[in-house]
């Protein structure tokens, strides 16, 4: 742009961004700081970030032992992975059919996809809960996965993406004698990889964060996911032991944050493609 970007304007701009960034980081700084402090330092009402007495070992060992922390993190990872895998496994073939094949009922199926986009799990949790109870699935890891194996959002996203693929690609594959299922997994999937990875990011962020469904279906600490585990930790905690709570908070926040820091491009692309959390 041609406007003379004066030093003052740039300085103001940079200053504004820096102040904003400081506000965003403010909670993280105090989380880390408090996780190192003993209760008396936290209660001392001082703004100093450096602890007077180090209590990191006590805080972090409480965070790791008061609830089965490692197990809970693994639960979260396992549940999120299973959900993503099933979602793609179910959604991709249907999305391919919706995008490229002509069959009776295609309109109905697509209408149902739109219905699904509208209705969040929260709204239909009562019958789903009842079904889980009847089938004896409450307090299992399976119940955390099953309701999410169907992702209409994945179907919608993949359909849009596959629609844009050239028909010649599919005709050529048919000429080579590939079955429709083989086309889905050997031709469509590799070509839809950007959409699949964007969706995977979307799905993992959403389900790693979700509290509503685990809160309803899981009452055993052993089976908790990180958000629910943290709630259990909070209720097991007597008084205001913020040091230990901040340690636990940091531990459950870290995995996804690290993942983000190492795969930023993937995340940003994921957001722009999926409008994350929709």
Closer of 175 and 190 to another protein (Cβ):
175
Judged by CB under 8 A, the stretch of 9-17, 52-60, 61-69, 77-85 that binds another protein is 9-17
| Binding flag, residue 120, another protein (CB under 8 A) | yes
| Binding flag, residue 175, another protein (CB under 8 A) | no
Q: Cβ 61 to another protein, closest distance in Å?
A: 18
Judged by CB under 8 A, the stretch of 57-65, 77-85, 144-152, 191-199 that binds another protein is 144-152
The C-alpha atoms of residue 163 and residue 113 are separated, in whole angstroms, by: 16
Distances in Å between the alpha carbon of 111 and those of 96, 122, 248? 16, 20, 44
Judged by CB under 8 A, the stretch of 50-58, 60-68, 77-85, 90-98 that binds another protein is 90-98
Residues 186-205 that bind another protein (CB under 8 A): 205
Of 189, 209, 204, residue with least CA distance to 274: 204
Side-chain half-sphere exposure of 118, counting CA atoms within 13 A: 6
Side-chain half-sphere exposure of 24, counting CA atoms within 13 A: 6
Of 270, 206, 242, residue with least CA distance to 55: 242
**Out of 56, 116, 138, 178, the residue judged to bind another protein by CB under 8 A:** 116
> Which DSSP string corresponds to 155-215?
HHHHHHHHHTS-HHHHHHHHHTT--HHHIIIIIIHHHTHHHHHHHHHHHHHHHHH--HHHH
Query: Do the Cβ atoms of 23 and 7 come closer than 8 Å?
Result: no
Residues 26-55 that bind another protein (CB under 8 A): 26-28, 30-31, 34, 42-47
| Binding flag, residue 257, another protein (CB under 8 A) | yes
| Binding flag, residue 109, another protein (CB under 8 A) | yes
Closer of 142 and 268 to another protein (Cβ):
268
Q: Cβ 54 to another protein, closest distance in Å?
A: 19
**Out of 69, 75, 132, 147, the residue judged to bind another protein by CB under 8 A:** 147
| Binding flag, residue 11, another protein (CB under 8 A) | no
């Amino acid at each position: 742009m041609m406007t003379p970007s004066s030093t003052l304007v740039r300085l103001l701009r940079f200053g504004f961004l820096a102040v904003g960034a400081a506000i965003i980081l403010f909670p993280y700084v105090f989380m880390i700081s408090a996780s190192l402090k003993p209760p008396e330092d936290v209660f001392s009402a001082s703004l100093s970030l450096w602890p007077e007495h180090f209590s990191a070992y006590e805080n972090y060992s409480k965070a790791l032992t008061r609830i089965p922390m490692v197990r809970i993190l693994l639960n979260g990872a396992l549940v999120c992975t299973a959900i993503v895998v099933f979602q793609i496994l179910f959604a991709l073939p249907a999305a391919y059919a919706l995008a490229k094949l002509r069959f009776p009922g295609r309109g109905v199926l697509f209408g149902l996809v739109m219905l699904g986009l509208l209705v969040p799990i929260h709204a239909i949790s009562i019958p789903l809960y009842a079904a889980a109870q009847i089938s004896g699935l409450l307090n299992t890891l399976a119940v955390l996965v099953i309701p999410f194996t169907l992702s209409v959002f994945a179907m919608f996203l993949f359909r849009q993406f596959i629609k844009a693929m050239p028909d010649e690609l599919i005709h050529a594959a048919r000429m080579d004698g590939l079955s429709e299922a083989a086309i889905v997994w050997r031709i469509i999937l590799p070509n839809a990889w950007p959409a699949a990875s964007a969706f995977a990011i979307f799905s993992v962020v959403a389900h790693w964060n979700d509290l509503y469904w685990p809160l309803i279906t899981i009452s055993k600490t052993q089976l908790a996911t990180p958000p629910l585990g943290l709630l259990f930790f909070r209720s097991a905690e007597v008084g205001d032991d913020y040091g230990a709570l901040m340690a636990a908070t940091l531990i459950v926040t870290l995995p996804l944050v690290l993942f983000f820091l190492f795969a930023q491009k993937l995340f940003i692309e994921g957001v722009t493609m999926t409008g994350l959390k929709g």
